Amino acid sequence: MADERNVNIHKLEQFANSFLNPHQLGKMIAQYIVLSTDRVIMVLRPYQYYATEAIIQHVKNSVKNGYIWHTTGSGKTLTSFKASQIIMDMPEVYKVVFVVDRKDLDDQTMKEFNNFKADSVDQSSNTNTLVNQLVKEDKLVVTTIQKLNNAIKNKKYEQKLRSLKNEKIVFIFDECHRSQFGETHGRITEYFSNSQLFGFTGTPIFADNAAKNELGKRTTKDLFDECLHKYVITNAISDQNVLKFSIEYIGRYKQKGNTLIDIEVEDIDKTEVINAPERLEKIVDYIIDYHDVKTHNRAFSAIFATSSIENLIKYYEFFRKKKEEGKHDLRIATIFTYGQNEESEEADGMLPAEESTDGLSIAAEPDIAYQSSHTRDKLESFIQDYNQLYQTNYTTKDSKKFENYFKDISNRLKKREKKGFQQKDRLDILLVVNMFLTGFDAKMVNTLYVDKNLQYHGLIQAYSRTNRIINETKSQGNILVFRNLKKSTDEAITLFSNKEAKEEIILPPYEEILQQFSNAFADLLKAAPTINSVDQLISEPKQMEFMQAFRKLLRVKNVLTSYTDFEWDDLPLTEQNFEKYKSKYLDLYDQVRFNTQKEKSSILQDVDFELELIHRDEINVDYILKLIAQMKQGKEKDAQAQKKQIIDMLAGEVELRSKRELIEKFIDEHLPKIADTDKIADEFYDFWEKEKIQALNQLCEEEKLDRKQFQNLVDAYIFNEREPLRDEVFECLDNRPSVLQARSIGERIIAKMKEFVQVFVEGMRA
């Protein structure tokens, strides 16, 4: 709970008076709770509530415009939806029109609005559809600025729209700083004489960052009057609604410790150096070397922001060439438009068929412009690479297919956060000029490579693609800058937060994190002075002390490993001993799971072990099978040592730990019988399927379950990830248990089912 100025309320009496009084509590329940279509209850956060209330009061008591300054990633869509929903029920308001500035955001916003409330809006697929929605009874319309602009400019719609000119229409603009600084704003306010405009932005335009166009330098305040509510990036980081940034300025490009090119960051602003193929290739080498470090072994994706289409093409071709040479196996994709103005940095801001907005422009860097046909041919070639990689069928030769290509890239990055996502569908690095740098949210993007000049709102918007919260593994957004942007970064942070904000937003230097690790290690030694002493922690409070100390160490280590300077030699314990402590931590986890199944009460039972901090995506079953094949092909005298290495690795990996016994059984009993190493994988999966059937039969026999019914329950759990209800479990039993036995039996069977899925299903394919 916080007040209107985002100051957290900690005192119970103050909280009760502010939130629990009947008037406020009734309002929250009646108006500020959203039940989404997937049955998730969302309660607006304090800053979202205050912003919505401010807009509502402004509509009731004023004819002026207003804007909401809520930082990128703070949930502006939910705030704007709730404001739209409440305002459209006001009798004095004829209609609410929610306006975005890109076609992809039109689709995205419509989906989000309809997720908040089913069928709350219909998409305006073209200008004609929009005009029909405006004149009909639809109280809420979602559209793009381009369609709205076309509607009021085109004389053929004049007759239909004439009746709306004096109606009270409330326009709500998403990211208003991008679309309202040209003629469009004046056109809308002049056409709809009784309109009221509200803008949402994470990065307002002030005098310091206002660009000049034919209408002069204009700020957000000039167009939208007063700021109705603020929630800046420092507020969001303090509330843990977004992550900090780890920014590294890369001037000397290394490859495995060898300096390849020695250019100080402060001196790389010369055009001939910036665009030199030698420099671009060294940056590609650097990214190849450090991408796994930054993305936790490709558990996350990255975006690469380049300065021009010409340079983007060079970068892509360097990545492709090095992949063909076997120097990496990263999954690379790109998208840009191929219009007449493609030499401009702003050239790829829109999808084809979307009229460009007349918003702020950013000066283009001096580039040699490619001809449109040339860049289109290049993009077509890159899309064919994509088609081959993902078995798709996109092209630039069909506008709908190109639009679907954009959507597929977007979905591929977003769906990565869903359970069941297959590694073969992942996208590692997306190369862009401007696309995806604003208005695009994917929680599994954690890294931004930057080789372009950014300033103010453009810089903050681009950096903010990386700082959405998803899990403990993603401890910060990683920004790797290959230009001299230090001054621009400091200025942007100061402008959009406060003078002291830099330390709150950017992670400290590597040396400071090293000291934090040393302090955390000292605390670990107090709980467990040696690795073997963990086994002597009999009491649960002592085990809890060790677990919390190791978790703290894990968190700091997770941050440390994201720095390109990271080396184990810098730490006060070896990597081997760290892994041994980690194994003890996992032993405790297994012990708690075992005790839970045995219905033994434990204070550790509800503790979050934060296993995602330990999980490493590249160590999976397929990886282990490659090691087994190498062991089979190796010398017999080395086999035992290689087997021990594999078993030790299984013990330290979360997803494989439960599979250790079965994999060891395969190595001992089946591997000696396989002559052809190419058949090891097929033989293993045949073995695995037989073991799975046997384990399921045994579970059903032990618990007296109908096998077919229980199999259906397991399949449903795997598909929708919803834990079955006890009544659903009881339907699989021969005899329903008594009331006294029901809870314990139901929980025991569900626990066994989860263990079965964990062993035989989870993490089985890369």
Strand partners, 170: 96, 196
Distance CA 343, CA 369 (A): 5
pLDDT of residue 48: 92
pLDDT of residue 54: 94
* Beta-strand relationship, 332-334 and 429-432: parallel
Going along the chain from its start, the domains and CATH numbers come out as 32-231 (3.40.50.300), 245-505 (3.40.50.300), 510-613 (1.20.58.910), 621-760 (no CATH)
Best CA proximity match to 758, nearest among 577, 562, 623, 611: 611
* Beta-strand relationship, 258-262 and 252-255: antiparallel
Q: For 355-505, list the strands marked E by DSSP.
A: 429-432, 445-451, 477-481
Q: Is 530 left (phi over 0), alpha (psi -120 to 50) or beta?
A: beta
Q: Locate 678 and state its tokens.
A: 């190419």
Angle formed by the axes of helices 540-560 and 510-527, nearest 10° = 160
pLDDT of residue 356: 33
User: Has this prediction a pTM greater than 0.75?
Assistant: no
Radius of gyration of the chain (CA): 29
Mean pLDDT by 10 residues, the chain (766 residues): 74 72 78 72 88 94 92 85 88 89 58 59 72 84 85 88 90 72 76 91 81 67 89 86 89 52 51 83 93 90 96 96 94 82 35 33 32 82 96 92 93 85 89 91 94 91 92 88 89 75 70 92 93 86 86 86 85 89 81 55 49 49 75 78 73 64 86 86 87 91 89 82 80 79 84 85 61
pLDDT of residue 21: 76
Question: Which amino acid, residue 43?
Answer: V
pLDDT of residue 370: 41
Q: Phi and psi (nearest 5°) for 478? A: -95, 125
Distance CA 261, CA 278 (A): 9
Distance CA 745, CA 98 (A): 52
pLDDT of residue 384: 97
Q: Phi and psi (nearest 5°) for 100? A: -115, 170
